């Protein structure tokens, strides 16, 4: 598992702090999330403290610190989706799966993220479930959708 990290770090220059965000992005692309161990390694490599890295990484809503669930739900909260009513959708997903954005359910079935724009602003609010987009989403649709997804997981 460490080998993939070594491969990634080789592409960067030790001590070059401005590479932090691209480096973290690449680690997340390969591993799906940023483990504590990966953050410590990145910090040692770039000469940044773990606290500083967590601080910067949590500022960007695209980083995950826990492994993703079997079903990944992302809700867009970009300006356009926000104006079209993403907030009730965000609250409903949280209520239905029982975890806040950035978290994964304890059973590992669902993970939940908020993203800033999915590139379909005319059709918001948008959500993405394991790569599939749902447009013009209303909070009332969520209980049925989540029920369907739970059924799929149970019968997989």
Among 80, 103, 104, 111, binds ligand FES (CB under 6 A): 80
> Would you count residue 90 as binding ligand FES (CB under 6 A)?
no
Q: Of residues 110-149, which lie at the interface with ligand FES (CB under 6 A)?
A: 117-121, 124, 126
Strand ranges (E), the chain: 71-76, 110-115, 127-129, 132-134
Question: How far from the centroid of its chain's Cα atoms is residue 35's Cα?
Answer: 13
Sign of CA dihedral 83, 118, 22, 28: positive
> Would you count residue 78 as binding ligand FES (CB under 6 A)?
yes
Min CB(29)–ligand FES separation in Å = 21
Local structure of 2: helix, strand or coil: helix
The residue whose two tokens read 């690449």 is 26
Q: Token pair of 108, please?
A: 């590992």
Gap between the Cα atoms of 57 and 66, Å rounded:
13
> Would you count residue 21 as binding ligand FES (CB under 6 A)?
no
Min CB(144)–ligand FES separation in Å = 22
> Would you count residue 76 as binding ligand FES (CB under 6 A)?
yes
Footprint of ligand FES (CB under 6 A)? 76, 78-81, 117-121, 124, 126
């Amino acid at each position: 598992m460490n080998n993939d990290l070594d491969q990634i770090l080789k592409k960067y220059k030790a001590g070059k702090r401005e590479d932090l965000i691209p480096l973290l992005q690449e680690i997340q692309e390969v591993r799906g999330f940023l483990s504590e161990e990966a953050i410590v390694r990145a910090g040692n490599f770039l000469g940044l403290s773990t606290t500083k890295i967590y601080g910067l990484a949590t500022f960007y809503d695209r980083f995950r610190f826990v492994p993703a669930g079997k079903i990944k739900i992302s809700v867009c909260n970009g300006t356009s989706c926000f104006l079209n009513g993403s907030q009730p959708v965000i609250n409903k997903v949280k209520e239905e799966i029982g975890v806040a954005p950035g978290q994964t359910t304890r059973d590992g079935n669902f993970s939940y993220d908020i993203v800033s724009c999915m590139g379909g602003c005319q059709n918001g609010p948008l959500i993405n479930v394991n790569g599939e987009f749902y447009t013009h989403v209303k909070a009332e649709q969520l209980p049925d959708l989540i029920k369907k997804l739970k059924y799929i997981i149970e019968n997989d």
